[in-house]
Amino acid sequence: MKLIYLHQYFRKPSMTGGIRSYEFAKRLAENGHDVVVVTSDNENIFNGWKIEELDGFEVHWISVKYDNRYGFFRRLWSFFKFLALSSIHICKLKSDKLFVTSTPLTVAIPALIYKYFKRKPYVFEVRDVWPEVPVALGIIKNKLLIKFSYFLEKLAYKHAEHIVALSPDMKQSVLQRCSETAVSVIPNAADCHLFNLPMHESDPFIKKLQAIKSKHKKVVFYTGAFGMVNNLRSIIQLASFSDGDIGFVIVGQGKEELELKKFATELNVFDNRLYFLSSVNKNQLSSVHSIFDMAVSTVLPIEALYANSANKVFDAFAAGSPLLINHGGWLCDLIKAHKCGLVINNSPTNEDYKNIREFLLNDDEYNFACTASLHLGQTDFNREYLYTKLKKILEQDNAL
């Protein structure tokens, strides 16, 4: 099968960010499929399409500058620039099927254009409940734009051959707007082979992590974007309750970095109970999980965000790190059912901190959570298992 894999934010393992599309594209190529990934280069400026051979498949890059620190309208320009250029490009390629993954929701437009002009089916992957999230956050306020967004969402679902949702909660959201298209749940995956790797003690990055760990009995850490939805202020608030036994580390980058550091300074935790580190790649991420003790994933108290399937969660399962979250939804249910971590209040209290401290310093409870987390990574969220589900959907002429 000739497959076009459309993903605006495709990342290679050498880059920071999730590599779901890379891992699935590589496996599809290994199984004999002719795969072309169509994506954007957010950092480099160049003319035309740049084609790269990567692990058995092609990646077609177009230069579209984007940064999560951009304002709404500058982001919107990036979305529309990519949808226009990618729409033209995919219609020039020979293919049997299109696999398109959001966000942003605007990638639905190339998918619909592709189906109309090429007379070929597409499978649509829903990574976030758009436009529910930006509407709930007040990012999209214009009533006409809101109506158009919901119309586009429904149109994308209705004309898809199959829909892949990244969580059970996302599936329910999709079915509320479109019940005539089949929906399968394939969450983000745990790449166990990328974690618990040998560490080079002489590496400056390893030494930096060990220096932080030496100051505390246990360390809780966050990895990812510094965006509004991530609610990283809650982690800083948690750190303010710490007596020093538990340290906190925030790893990544984003538009809120300066404000977060200012807030940490105001609470007198900056560089003593809470530390900031720059973004890391997958190899470095393994060391973060090996040296520190508990991964955290936080969001704002907005129900639409509780459906998330964040990469950091499945990295924790791959590494066998207990997970700390501050919200309800399917991940909350999962943690409570498997006892692989803790769920705290969205606005953390001193009592929440005490619960975390007690959990981390209780060897029996902590070790049980580590084992449970790794078991989830090796079974339910194992990359190979989830890939088999996706492969079956993509290879079917009429997915049911």
Least Cα distance to 304 among 115, 125, 112, 128 occurs for: 128
Instruction: Give the model's pLDDT for residue 397.
Output: 63
Bridge partners of 158, per DSSP, are none
Rounded CA-CA distance 238/243 in Å is 11
Could you tell me if residue 115 is inside a domain?
yes
| Residue, of 34 and 255, whose pLDDT is higher | 34
Clarify whether residues 64 and 184 are in a common domain: yes
Identify whether residues 22 and 162 lie together within a single domain: yes
Has residue 8 been placed in a domain? yes
Tens of pLDDT along 180-195? 999 999 999 999 999 9
CA-angle at 271, arms to 312 and 250, nearest 5°? 10
What integer pLDDT is reported at residue 238 of this predicted model? 98
Interatomic CA distance for residues 278 and 287, integer angstroms: 14
Tokens at residue 120, please? 């070929």
Looking at the 3D structure of the chain, how many domains does it have?
2
Question: 98 and 58, same structural domain?
Answer: yes
265 token code pair = 């300074």
Asked if 232 and 279 sit in the same domain, the reply is yes
Do 151 and 38 lie in one domain? The reply is yes
Q: For residue 177, how far is the Cα from the chain centroid?
A: 23
Q: Which tens digits make up the pLDDT trace of 95-134?
A: 999 999 998 889 999 999 999 999 999 999 999 888 888 8
Kindly calculate the radius of gyration of the chain based on its CA atoms and give it in whole angstroms.
Answer: 21
Structure token digits, residue 42? 């957010």
Asked if residue 144 and residue 262 are part of one domain, the reply reads no
Share of the chain above pLDDT 70, in %: 98
Q: How many other CB atoms are found less than 10 A from the CB of residue 291?
A: 17
Kindly list the distances between the CA atom of residue 82 and the CA atoms of 19, 38, 104, 226, 260, in Å, as whole numbers in the listed order.
20, 10, 10, 24, 31
Name the pTM for this structure.
Answer: 0.92
Strands 57-63 and 49-54: antiparallel
* Apex 298 CA angle, 288 and 173, nearest 5: 125
Domain span at 330: 192-378
pLDDT of amino acid 79 = 86
User: Do 58 and 179 share a structural domain?
Assistant: yes
Judgement on whether residues 208 and 88 belong to the same structural domain of the protein:
no
CB-based contacts of 251: which residues, under 8 Å, 6+ apart?
221, 222, 223, 224, 276, 277, 278, 279, 280, 288
Residue 400 lies in a domain: no
pLDDT of residue 398: 44
Phi and psi based region of residue 271 (left: phi greater than 0; alpha: psi -120 to 50; beta: remaining): left
For residue range 213-247, what is the model confidence (pLDDT) as tens digits? 999 999 999 999 998 899 999 999 999 999 999 99
Question: Which residue in this structure is represented by tokens 């390893």?
Answer: 206
- For the cut 70, the answer to whether the pLDDT of residue 399 exceeds it is no
Whether residue 119 is found in the same domain as residue 267: no
For residue 138, the domain's CATH number is: 3.40.50.2000
Helices (H) and strands (E) in the chain, counts: 15, 14
The answer to whether the CB of 170 falls within 8 A of the CB of 193 is no
Please report the sign of the dihedral spanned by the C-alpha atoms of residue 31, residue 120, residue 83, residue 176: negative
Q: What does DSSP say about strands 2-6 and 34-41: parallel, antiparallel, or unpaired?
A: parallel
Residues 219 and 178 in one domain: no
For residues 120 and 34, membership in a common domain is answered with: yes
Same domain, 172 and 129: yes
The answer, yes or no, to whether residue 135 has pLDDT greater than 90, is: no
Mean pLDDT taken over the chain: 94
Question: Does any domain span residue 280?
Answer: yes
Q: What average pLDDT does the segment 365-389 reach? A: 98
| Strand pairing report for 162-165 and 183-185 | parallel
